[in-house]
Chains A and B, each alone.
Chain A
Amino acid sequence: GAVVSQHPSWVICKSGTSVKIECRSLDFQATTMFWYRQFPKQSLMLMATSNEGSKATYEQGVEKDKFLINHASLTLSTLTVTSAHPEDSSFYICSARTSGAPYEQYFGPGTRLTVT
Chain B
Amino acid sequence: GDSVTQMEGPVTLSEEAFLTINCTYTATGYPSLFWYVQYPGEGLQLLLKATKADDKGSNKGFEATYRKETTSFHLEKGSVQVSDSAVYFCALNRYAAGNKLTFGGGTRVLVKP
Contact = CB atoms under 8 A, between A and B. Distances in A.
User: Interface SS of chain B: helix, strand, loop or mixed?
Assistant: loop
Interface residues of B, number: 17
B19 to A, nearest CB: 19
A85 to B, nearest CB: 24
Interface string A46-66: 100100000000000000000
Contacts of A42: 105-106
Contacts, number: 42
B59 interface: no
B43 interface: yes
Contacts of B99: 97, 103, 105
B105 A43 contact: yes
Interface in A98-116: 102-110
Contact of B43 (A46, A97, A104, A107): A107
